[in-house]
Structure 1
């Protein structure tokens, strides 16, 4: 496998900056969405047993997600602007990426809109699950509401489920169930020595409390269960923020760079562009991504994956999450200048 190209090293440095901005914007948007939930209305709907109206309160408005949409747009434009640094000297000085081009605007907005919809759908689905579970187990409505929107700390709410994935929410509910059952609390640890929690996002500060309860054959108190699950949600939310930031920044800059080279071709500034798939040295590489390493094709061609996915570049949204999440591959472009 070839070493990293100069383009790849520059893109990795760009991604580092962009990921920080997207992560900050994600956490800010999730906080706004959590604060926006009408807790009084939530309690009323829970009292009436109206699960659907209660879950609908977790729909996230697009305006709430504006900081995240803007961070994604900035990453897209950053990818386009980076093209100038990748071009031969005589060309880099005359190329200007048009971030307001209709196609560029549409691409950036489509990525942001898809993410907004995905996160909002997750929030509603997860809320419905928590509500059904809470009602089925006869928990107090205040306890269910706390799981859903967290508790007030100053003017903010912390410890809610907005921002979690469906699997993370499932694990949170399972944590609550096992910790409240003396016959199941031993499941908290995955090893006989009770040293390793079952879920990696569990807060290790509570290991001793859980271990003591197991040894005494008891369940945790409701207050301790709240503390353990709140800490789990906090850590899980932070992990999702990192994953979203890395992936969305990668997708945005990759799409922005592709758009930059497309603008070069449209303007006739270059005769042709080729693109090469460069594998990103993952610890657990996807075999088709590894096989693709070094493959070079023309700009208007696509990389064909083992499952039939057709991708214009690494992290092309057309490939789906299975080819994007945690992928570190990049695209290396080469231009052919027009003949005099």
Structure 2
């Protein structure tokens, strides 16, 4: 039988596509509700704050992500509980423990996970949009062009907006804008750099190489198509990153909560629990987590300390301030050992 660790990793693989779809659905919903005329009118008045509001970047649009987080959290708790070592109370009596996703602490964790993710996406998106608008005016772009670059252009085939910066991170939007500037201006070095981007649509490479050889810019229609495809692929990249990271965080948070619930049900003290960090054990593990591997702490609340200074109670834990460099694409695990479990040997590797 597969270990709990492997089963949890399989669960993350199974549920991540749901999280990915939830993010893409949210972005598509925001784009579908944009009335470009409203955005353009505000930009014509140089009312950047008003133009941002006209995009309706509303936290409620990301509700599908909240549902995906709840699903991952509950599934992680159910799986962990099903593999829990047999427990006894202080008198030696058998403890029957069932996962409770409606437990007050569990509900609070779900709310915190959802709120942290959605707030981060909303704030980053608003900052990205503001920067694009300000930069667009600085370059002499018209309100309509700025609005279309952000919202996307309606496809004649699908009737939906494609290629807009909405859904792209602030940092990746800067990459797109550098490519747009280079392709529009004929900047040879900038166009050469575009050809190094891993997510570019290579079907346009011949066109770009021709422009490089001639030392001339591409026409605006070609630039819009090229940067539009690059943007779409960056939105997909962000969806994949969010899906893997947030599903892992939700599942590992639920695992921690399941052991906490088991402690409470058993009327046992948390000092009887030891937790050991386990890395994935391959070359893809980030350096800080290689060093963390094997580190052991006692109790449920004491955090592991990364060499970077970040504190984490379990992989994916952001509640103590750990940043993206310690969280994104993590595949580590924490082994929980109950000193009072009758089946102590079976708890190892969990």
TM-score normalised to the size of structure 2? Answer: 0.87
Give the 5 Å matches for 1:1-340: 6-58=3-55, 60-88=57-85, 94-153=96-155, 154-182=158-186, 184-190=187-193, 197-268=195-266, 272-281=272-281, 283-300=283-300, 301-317=302-318, 318=320, 319-337=322-340
Partner-residue secondary structure (3-state), 1:49? coil
Give CA-to-partner distance per residue, 1:298-340, whole Å, 9 cap, x none. 232321222332221121112222210122111122233467x
Structure 1 residue 10: deviation in Å?
1.0
Question: Matched residues in 2 for 1:121 and 1:14: separation?
Answer: 30
5+ unaligned residues in a row in structure 1: which ranges? 191-195
Structure 1 residue 72: deviation in Å?
0.8
Structure 1 residue 188: deviation in Å?
2.1
Structure 1 residue 90: deviation in Å?
7.6
Q: What is the aligned-residue RMSD (CA, Å)?
A: 2.2
Q: Provide the aligned length of Structure 1 versus Structure 2.
A: 329
**Any conservation in 1 of the 2:69–2:114 contact (CA below 8 Å)?**
yes
Structure 1 residue 142: deviation in Å?
2.3
Give CA-to-partner distance per residue, 1:145-194, whole Å, 9 cap, x none. 21111122345322111211111100111111000112x1342224xxxx
Give CA-to-partner distance per residue, 1:19-46, whole Å, 9 cap, x none. 1110111111111122223322101011
Question: Matched residues in 2 for 1:270 and 1:18: separation?
Answer: 33
5+ unaligned residues in a row in structure 2: which ranges? 89-93, 343-350
**Any conservation in 2 of the 1:55–1:127 contact (CA below 8 Å)?**
yes
Question: Matched residues in 2 for 1:231 and 1:282: separation?
Answer: 34
**Any conservation in 1 of the 2:59–2:122 contact (CA below 8 Å)?**
no
TM-score normalised to the size of structure 1? Answer: 0.90
Partner-residue secondary structure (3-state), 1:163? coil
Give CA-to-partner distance per residue, 1:104-131, whole Å, 9 cap, x none. 1111111111111111111111111221
